[in-house]
Copies of this chain bind each other. A is one copy, B any other.
Amino acid sequence: MMQLSPPCNNKTMKIAKTITELKTCLEEIGKDKTIGFVPTMGYLHDGHLSLINEAQSHNDVTVVSIFVNPTQFAPGEDLDAYPRDFDQDSLLAEAAGTDLLFFPDPGDIYPAGASTFVEVEGESTRKLCGQSRPTHFKGVTTVVNILFNLIQPTRAYFGQKDAQQVVVIKKMIRDLHLPVQLVVCPIVREADGLALSSRNVFLNPEQRNQALVLSQSLTAAKALYRAGEGRVKILKDQIISHISNMPLAVIDYVDILDFKTLADIENITSPALVAVAVRFGSTRLIDNIILD
């Protein structure tokens, strides 16, 4: 496969496929450098690349991980089907300015008999995706904690696309006093509004077209809110009826919650998260918008 020309800073990206290789690379980097870390599940798109760009601009060194984390998938979810393309990811990561790409095996992250978990209990993990995926965030917080422990980044970059994940990780960092600064980057969208997702690749043309209803229903809700409607029930009902117009769309949830705590609210009086999850066939898409 052809190598892309070296990125702007004229460096070559290193690839660590084991924890031992990672540690060697990190030792070479040294403890005095700031490290920006972008954890991903691979199949990189412009959303990921915006995180890498952001990390690259504010840190001495940018580390990206690609790890399709088994513990955040429940049995029957799409762990095996999750799209993977390491060669393509590797080229994209290098072109975006990644210094070190960490691509471990599950057996390296979770050694035989591993049974230690980091769990954010309470409202923030029970709502939204936590309802249809009750063990999901326990897997997310555990693997993010492990990756933080291994890489010891100065800053970690997450996309607002996974809004609930951001709330949960922010809470984990605060509750456990993790020595890392969380940086949240805006959702990156296609020109027509569809939020970028590695799972978009599974949509057939008709599903792809109807999937626009996620961003469109959120934009319409924002317009209604801006026009003075602050009642959560009215806003939710409009989104639900909007999405229900699409025959292929099956709603997983539509909810409007306190942006910081994900507590239930009846009226929007402080920043609120409007979040939707919708299935098209076996593909589950999420999107969200903040009203403040």
Contact = CB atoms under 8 A, between A and B. Distances in A.
Interface in A147-203: 149-150, 152, 171-172, 174-179
Given A32-B31, A149-B179, A179-B152, A174 B111 contact: yes
A252 interface: no
The winner among A19, A32, A113, A115 for most chain B CB atoms within 10 A is A115
A119 interface: yes
A145 B175 CA distance: 11
24 contacts: A31-B31, A113-B261, A114-B174, A114-B175, A115-B120, A115-B121, A116-B118, A116-B120, A116-B121, A116-B141, A116-B171, A116-B175, A117-B118, A117-B119, A117-B121, A118-B118, A118-B145, A118-B176, A142-B176, A149-B176, A149-B177, A150-B177, A150-B179, A152-B179
Interface in A76-125: 109-111, 113-122
Interface residues of A, number: 32
Contacts of A121: 115-117
Nearest to A172: B116
A181 to B, nearest CB: 13
A146 interface: yes
A267 to B, nearest CB: 22
